[in-house]
Amino acid sequence: MSKNLINRRWVLADYPEAMPDETHFQFEASVPLPVLEEDQILVQAHFLSVDPYMRGRISPEAGYTAGVKPGGLLPAGGVGEVIESRSNLFDEGEFVESMNFGWQEYSVLSAGSTQKVDPALAPIQSSLSYLGMPGMTAYFGLFDVGAAKPGETVLISAASGAVGQVAGQLAKAHGCRAVAVASNEAKLDWCREIGYDIGINYRETEDLPKMINDCCPNGVDVYFDNTAGPIHDAVMQNLNLNARVAVCGVVSLADKIGKPDIGQRYLRQILVNRARIQGFLVFDFAERYDEARDYISGFVRDGTFKFKEDISDGIESMAKSFIDLLHSENFGKKLIKI
Ligand SMILES: NC(=O)c1ccc[n+]([C@@H]2O[C@H](COP(=O)([O-])OP(=O)(O)OC[C@H]3O[C@@H](n4cnc5c(N)ncnc54)[C@H](OP(=O)(O)O)[C@@H]3O)[C@@H](O)[C@H]2O)c1
């Protein structure tokens, strides 16, 4: 056992058929750590990331990567400190970030899939948010998939979340009109504070297509779709000529993984507007992460960038935090401080 430490972690108890609840997760309070092999490091997590993609991983359905089987460790990105190293790439005391931490306090990571984090450059947890996966997603979704141009109207769902906050600020800085969609007024106030031109509360709006039409009189040029579901259906009725729909996430389908997504169809609007719908995974752009990180770092340095985190304490809070995220109860990037 490495350093005589005892690990605490969460495993999948059972596949949820609809929305996950706490019965689908099992806490293990005393798990021995393995002895490190060559090229491995032992890392103590400081922050773990809570992300919507975890819902797809706890399903028997095939996804873009292998899922977790009942009894298996739940996946999470994280950032933490190296406390033991059998790699000549990492020294004890250094901070590292990886997608492979898992829902646990200590992780044995392979040196090859782990990146160093310099705590002098930015708070370490930014490697899980605006300088990490959500920030990269916002950048490539907006500029590559959405191909946003100055003067265009960009509508973003889950606008106050980890990806949405970055996408909205990048859209504004690029000279676009940015329209936020979120579930409550506090989130929309935050969206306005970080620069969104206007906000739509999708839960309080009786006629969402009309509200989008009122807020986007020239139509939507880029729809940064973080949610799918009824918001998607409403935006499709408001596309501008040559609109681009960047399908980033389907969090509103969390209770329907593996089941048909039966919504309304708007193929005529796509045809008439010569619109393009494209799904994307941020990992497809991995070779260009430095470009995105430099771009976002520029905003951080000039002091114009704002970012809200929503931090819960302790590994025990992981399951509830994930379930809350799927019910819109996070406000900002959801992180667990270990
Ligand atoms: N393609 C990729 O490579 C990639 C990478 C990262 C993330 N993503 C996707 O991007 C989306 C945002 O991720 P994030 O990390 O930034 O999460 P987030 O926005 O910080 O948190 C999830 C948000 O989703 C919204 N939501 C939950 N249930 C909803 C529902 N039924 N209808 C509408 N909105 C709902 C909630 O915002 P409201 O309060 O506004 O409802 C909630 O706060 C997710 O779909 C995620 O899977 C994709």
For ligand 1, mutation pick of 99, 191, 226 (most atoms within 8 Å of CB): 226
What pLDDT does residue 3 have?
63
Q: Is the dihedral of CA 246, 252, 254, 256 positive or negative?
A: negative
Instruction: Give CA–CA dist 218/240, Å, rounded.
Output: 7
CB atoms within 10 A of CB 337: 15
Cα dihedral 188→192→198→199 (10° resolution): -10
- In contact, 228 and 253? CB cutoff 8 Å: yes
Pocket of ligand 1 (CB under 6 A): 51-53, 133-134, 137, 158, 161-164, 182-183, 187, 226-227, 229, 231, 248-252, 280-282, 325-326, 328, 330, 333
Report residues of the chain scoring pLDDT below 50. Answer: 1
For ligand 1, mutation pick of 145, 163, 257, 261 (most atoms within 8 Å of CB): 163
Cα-based distances in Å from 184 to 92, 171, 232, 268: 44, 22, 18, 32
- Residues ≥6 apart with Cβ < 8 Å to 206: none
The class (CATH top level) of 133-283 is: alpha beta
Question: Measuring from atom 45 of ligand 1, which residue has the nearest CA?
Answer: 249
What pLDDT does residue 4 have?
75
- Residues ≥6 apart with Cβ < 8 Å to 299: 169, 170, 173, 305
Instruction: Give CA–CA dist 29/124, Å, rounded.
Output: 26
Q: How far is the CA of 329 from the centre of ligand 1 (A)?
A: 11
What pLDDT does residue 182 have?
98
Cα-based distances in Å from 136 to 40, 139, 236: 27, 5, 25
Name the amino acid, one letter, at 303. Answer: G
In angstroms, what is the C-alpha Rg of the chain? 20
Token pair 């719908």: residue: 277
- In contact, 55 and 22? CB cutoff 8 Å: no
Could you tell me the two tokens for 169?
């600020």
What pLDDT does residue 10 have?
98
What pLDDT does residue 18 have?
93
- ∠ CA 231-188-150, rounded to 5°: 75
For ligand 1, mutation pick of 251, 324, 333 (most atoms within 8 Å of CB): 251
What pLDDT does residue 64 have?
75
Strands 333-337, 309-313: pairing kind: parallel
What pLDDT does residue 2 have?
56
Instruction: Give CA–CA dist 140/138, Å, rounded.
Output: 6
Tens digit of each residue's pLDDT (9 = 90 or more) over 34-81: 999 999 999 999 999 999 999 999 998 767 777 899 999 999 999 999
Tens digit of each residue's pLDDT (9 = 90 or more) over 233-268: 999 999 999 999 999 999 999 999 888 888 889 999
Architecture of the 2-129+309-337 domain? Alpha-Beta Complex (3.90)
Give residue limits of the domains in the chain. 2-129+309-337, 133-283
Distance from chain centroid for Cα 263? 24
- List the beta strands (DSSP E) in the chain: 6-12, 25-32, 40-49, 78-85, 95-98, 106-110, 115-117, 153-157, 177-182, 198-201, 220-225, 239-247, 276-279, 309-313, 333-337
Could you tell me the two tokens for 209?
């297509």
- The two counts, helices (H) then strands (E), for the chain are 9, 15
